[in-house]
Amino acid sequence: MIRAPYLFAVALAVGLAVSAAVRFALPVAVLVVLSALVRPRAAAVCLLLLSGWWWGSARLDALDRSVLVAGVDTAGSAVVTVAEPPRRGRWDVHMRAVVHRWRGGRVDEPVLLQLPGTRAPPQGARLSLLGIVRVPPDYERAWLRHHGVHVVLRASRWRVLRQRGGVADRLHSWLARASTPGLTGERRAVLEGVVLGEDGGLSESLRQRFRASGLYHLLAVSGGNVIVVAGGAAGLALLLGIGRFGAEVIALAAIAAYVLAVGPQPSVIRAGIAGALLSLAWLTGRQRDRWYALLVAAVVLLAWNPWNVLDPGFQLSFAAVVSIFVLAPRFKRVLEGYPMPEWVRSCVAISAACGLCTAPISWLHFHAIPVLAVPANAAAAPVMPPMLALALLAAIVPPAGPLLARLSGLGAAYLAGCARFFGGLPGAQARSPAAVAALASVVLLAAAYAWRRGERAEAGLPAARQRPSEDRPRRASSA
């Protein structure tokens, strides 16, 4: 039987997700009906489901409001704050920003800001500019709307007024600068992707190779990053003689600081919440269910923006984690007995499970599936933890920063080489429906075999049914 906390979390998450499809206003009559229910658990589930539905609808109504839509195709002066690191194009730079004032009036609305040239302001900069409001292009209009952005502000000229000076901006600027001292070019860009989840410094060709090889997820901050941050902070505290409680507080502070520095990406928030819950479980000595941490992360993300349920990053992140929980252990049992090290077996099992569960999502959103993701991830996996650890150590130990950055830069160069090699092989991506259908048939058959073999291993049965022994005494035939 499902325990109450998990049931309640599922009900709340489902209610928030449903609001992305159908808006709902919670009537008072619903509360009257719920109060008449006999079973308290059923009443609580229904109340949480409807409360999530109502809250999600209210949040979507707030995200859909836009003052600047009425000013499309008009020009004026504006004061904006850069909300994310800029992305450079061929002729301009673009980034999400918050408009505080437009033509003298108070606004406080997010926009997609486009600046001419290649010069870009840092994240957190307050700008004064002259620009024109435009409608977003069709191919990204829906994606921007799901993030509360309804217009594009194209600036003709701009100047920096001051830096916002918030904690998140300072942490982001410090980590971006201190984790890569002395590095330039491609190595710095790859490290910024691994440490901060930013791929703006990569060339378009290398970015495409990362996607084709199935290694693009390594440029998004995930649970592995949080484990390195929390484990490193707690381990360092214990080595310095700080007690368990102090080490746990330091680990939680390190997780919070890292999430603030990286920004509110779905994978970052999910990993941060899960890491904090698991850290608290370690402090209290209680074994918490990993599913509960995943559900809490989903509830937080959907409560902030119910449109996240349609976001590819949200879907890929949670599908990968679920596959690690459910499929990876069974795939690992299938590989037992083969001549390979334990870490290779784990990497192959996790990569195969994640690839199987994320392939339909990749095809739905990007119309391409990386075929060589398993060997590519197996080749790249050994360098990821030391590369991330060295980059973070370079930030917190400035005297040794340049040396540590050079070492982590070697790992970045190797990772880029893996992306180029596997992403450049013929057939690295399946794009045609026929190729996808053939790949899906092979993968599903292999998954079914692995699932069946895993069930038999759990039951203590042999991997395959054995035939009756040949030397079993046969019944004597009658003369």
Decide: 397 and 390 in contact? Cβ < 8 Å: no
pLDDT at 143: 87
- 254 and 335 part of one domain: yes
Closest C-alpha to 50, from 75, 76, 28, 79: 28
Query: Residue 452: which residues within 8 A CB-CB, separation 6 or more?
Result: none
Tell me the per-residue pLDDT of 108-125, one tens digit each, with 9 for 90 and over: 999 999 998 878 888 888
Helix, coil or strand: residue 366: helix
- 36 and 51 part of one domain: yes
The answer to whether residue 469 is domain-embedded is: no
- 242 and 364 part of one domain: yes
**Residue 401 tokens, joined:** 């920063």
The answer to whether residue 339 is domain-embedded is: yes
Helix, coil or strand: residue 102: strand
Cα 432 to Cα 12, 207, 212, 359, 360: the distances in Å are 39, 21, 14, 14, 14
pLDDT at 467: 42
Give the whole-angstrom CA distance, residue 186 versus residue 236.
31
pLDDT at 152: 94
Instruction: Tally the domains of the chain.
Output: 3
Decide: 77 and 130 in contact? Cβ < 8 Å: yes
Last residue of a domain, one of 164, 185, 211: 164
Tell me the per-residue pLDDT of 405-449, one tens digit each, with 9 for 90 and over: 999 999 999 999 999 999 999 888 887 777 767 767 776 776 676
The answer to whether residue 471 is domain-embedded is: no
The answer to whether residue 479 is domain-embedded is: no
pLDDT at 132: 95
Low-confidence ranges of the chain (pLDDT < 50): 28-29, 32, 287, 463-479
Long-range contacts of 278-285 (CB under 8 A, 24+ apart): 279/230, 279/234, 279/248, 279/251, 279/252, 279/255, 280/248, 280/252, 282/248, 283/244, 283/245, 283/248
Determine the angle formed by the axes of helices 384-396 and 185-196, rounding to 10 degrees: 90
Give the whole-angstrom CA distance, residue 210 versus residue 193.
11
pLDDT at 459: 61
Give the whole-angstrom CA distance, residue 339 versus residue 378.
15
- 46 and 92 part of one domain: no
pLDDT at 188: 93
- 233 and 126 part of one domain: no
- 105 and 239 part of one domain: no
- 155 and 181 part of one domain: no
pLDDT at 454: 60
The answer to whether residue 52 is domain-embedded is: yes
- 229 and 155 part of one domain: no
Decide: 215 and 380 in contact? Cβ < 8 Å: yes
Domain range enclosing 248:
172-457
pLDDT at 450: 64
Cβ-count burial 357-394 (b if 16+ within 10 Å, e if not): bbbebbbeeeebbbbbbbbbbbbbbebbeebbbbbbbb
The answer to whether residue 140 is domain-embedded is: yes
